[in-house]
Structure 1
Amino acid sequence: MGCWTARVQYRHAPAANHAALDAVLASAPGRPTLPVRLTVELAGRARVHLPADAPLTVWDPCCGAGATLTVLGLLVPGLARLVGTDADPGPLDLARRNLALLDPGGLTARAADLEALAARHDKPSYAEAATAVRTLVPASAPAWSVTPADARDTAAVRSALAGAGPYGTGPDLVLADLPHGHRTTWAAAADDEDPGVEFLRAVATALRPDAVVVAVGRGRTVPLPGGARPLERVRAGHRAAVLVRAGALQEG
């Protein structure tokens, strides 16, 4: 049985000052992002359920401005590829801008841009941000891609994920902050099915059964299909997260 903790115990993400990330990452208005420490912790927990030391491919099916994927690339070693998709193409240019920080020279270029802004506008805050950016050293150097695709559109998702994962077998890990509130525009496949459950079923169709899905939602729990056993459940403040095998979602 999966375990439940009333409050997440950080085992994989020690407390740290992430002010440099705040300075460098662009965000999309109206799209809250996962806290940096929680993002790293959830990735660490998922990795426990995956082959040790194997390079990982991570897919975020609700990537928005790509902050979650970029945080992983900057702070988590051993990532081979990052794939972002979103049904809304609006924030994807920001996602490409953020993920470009992981490219050779990406952080240096961003620091130079901030220094130019500091000189142009005589704003010390830009200079401080540039200094913070120059302290960052990416933990991984993954390939990355960003594509507009609705996670419930199997053909579009498979096209976006083409060649991903070991030997082209698909992502190893999915980390998704599920849409909620006014941003939730999906409709459930059946009147009695939670729309988040429908979403997770759709995501699982593009995955190997042994892949791990981490889904984060607002509230006390993230619903799963009936009969699907979680690997683990955690809570952090007003967020809940569940770790589950793709195969359990496919069978549930």
Structure 2
Amino acid sequence: MQYRHAPAANHAALDAVLASAPGRPTLPVRLTVELAGRARVHLPADAPLTVWDPCCGAGATLTVLGLLVPGLARLVGTDADPGPLDLARRNLALLDPGGLTARAADLEALAARHDKPSYAEAATAVRTLVPASAPAWSVTPADARDTAAVRSALAGAGPYGTGPDLVLADLPHGRRTTWAAAADDDEDPGVEFLRAVATALRPDAVVVAVGRGRTVPLPGGARPLERVRVGHRAAVLVRAGALQEG
């Protein structure tokens, strides 16, 4: 894949500041920014965006977007597993006024307490960060199959309360996910996930789904806006309306 929206950069400062949930893989920073840029091409130019991550985990994807992508009005994170959501709130708090300064101060205190230069280096890296957006954000436990819970989490999101403009999600992997238990034996769990997500969106919203392997399956008849591959990951960009009809 040729990167068109995310030039090569050193993201060591983000590695120093973002908390991660054990066992929860995160999307690479550059890929996250690139996919957001590609999605924006299919949305109204210069309009403030609301982004929803329906399996947000520790919130790293949303936080990366807030730190590096301008023009974001609101970030919404939901996850069927409430376990990592405290980490998501901690990460997204970096986007609040004074959030990065507070994190740097914490790291400096750790450096002094434990005499570890690595903490001091991390604090210095954190102080170089300037968020590209200042979005409102929220994090709520919600299973995307639970329409009522999702609608509650997304209440008021998007322009005039019409819902998110963009969904960016790293799809649940494999038959061991909770999606597998509810999906038809002949249907990929990721397809069921996309169908469920689309029910909460207006038709012109853009869904970006990332999966492992050569391609991301879509419901029958759903035509993608774009497909890309990078390394062992594949991604698809598709209108919510196409998922609703597929």
Pick the TM interval, shorter chain. Answer: over 0.9
Give the conservation status (yes or no) of the 8 Å contact 2:33–2:68: yes
Distance (whole Å) between structure 2 residues aligned to residue 10 and residue 59 of structure 1: 23
1:47 Cα deviation from its structure 2 partner: 0.1
1:182 Cα deviation from its structure 2 partner: 7.4
Distance (whole Å) between structure 1 residues aligned to residue 237 and residue 227 of structure 2: 6
Distance (whole Å) between structure 1 residues aligned to residue 224 and residue 133 of structure 2: 28
Q: Which moved more, 1:112-121 or 1:186-195?
A: 186-195
Distance (whole Å) between structure 1 residues aligned to residue 175 and residue 64 of structure 2: 25
1:78-115: CA deviation from partner (whole Å, max 9, x where unpaired): 00000000000000000000000000000000000000
1:149-193: CA deviation from partner (whole Å, max 9, x where unpaired): 001111100000000000000000000001114761223655322
Distance (whole Å) between structure 1 residues aligned to residue 55 and residue 221 of structure 2: 25
Gaps of 5+ in 2: none
Give the conservation status (yes or no) of the 8 Å contact 1:62–1:177: yes
Give the conservation status (yes or no) of the 8 Å contact 2:174–2:189: no
Going from structure 1 to structure 2, the CA distance change for 1:117 and 1:189 (only over 3 Å counts) comes to closer
1:39 Cα deviation from its structure 2 partner: 0.1
Going from structure 1 to structure 2, the CA distance change for 1:72 and 1:158 (only over 3 Å counts) comes to same
Distance (whole Å) between structure 1 residues aligned to residue 79 and residue 96 of structure 2: 22
Q: Which moved more, 1:181-190 or 1:162-171?
A: 181-190
- Considering Cα pairs closer than 8 Å and 6+ residues apart, tell me whether 1 or 2 has the greater RCO: 1
Give the conservation status (yes or no) of the 8 Å contact 2:53–2:77: yes
Distance (whole Å) between structure 1 residues aligned to residue 23 and residue 174 of structure 2: 11
1:251 Cα deviation from its structure 2 partner: 0.1
Identical aligned residues as a percent: 99
Superposed, 1:67-82 pairs within 5 Å as 67-82=60-75
Count of residues in Structure 1 that have an aligned counterpart in Structure 2: 245
Q: Secondary structure at the match of 1:186?
A: helix
Q: Which moved more, 1:192-201 or 1:30-39?
A: 192-201
Q: Which residue number corresponds to residue 31 of structure 2? A: 38
Q: Which residue number corresponds to residue 127 of structure 2? A: 134
1:41-77: CA deviation from partner (whole Å, max 9, x where unpaired): 0000000000000000000000000000000000000
Q: Which residue number corresponds to residue 4 of structure 1? A: none
Gaps of 5+ in 1: 1-7
Distance (whole Å) between structure 1 residues aligned to residue 182 and residue 107 of structure 2: 47
Give the conservation status (yes or no) of the 8 Å contact 1:188–1:194: no
Match of 1:149 among 142, 145, 164: 142
Distance (whole Å) between structure 2 residues aligned to residue 58 and residue 183 of structure 1: 27
Give the conservation status (yes or no) of the 8 Å contact 2:175–2:189: no
Q: Which residue number corresponds to residue 213 of structure 1? A: 207
Give the conservation status (yes or no) of the 8 Å contact 1:188–1:198: no
Superposed, 1:1-252 pairs within 5 Å as 8-181=1-174, 184-187=177-180, 191-252=185-246
1:22-43: CA deviation from partner (whole Å, max 9, x where unpaired): 0000000000100000000000
Q: Secondary structure at the match of 2:61?
A: helix
Q: Which moved more, 1:39-48 or 1:190-199?
A: 190-199
Give the conservation status (yes or no) of the 8 Å contact 2:179–2:192: no
Give the conservation status (yes or no) of the 8 Å contact 1:197–1:225: yes
Q: Secondary structure at the match of 1:156?
A: helix
TM-score, length-scaled by structure 1: 0.96
TM-score, length-scaled by structure 2: 0.98
1:217 Cα deviation from its structure 2 partner: 0.3
Distance (whole Å) between structure 2 residues aligned to residue 140 and residue 181 of structure 1: 34
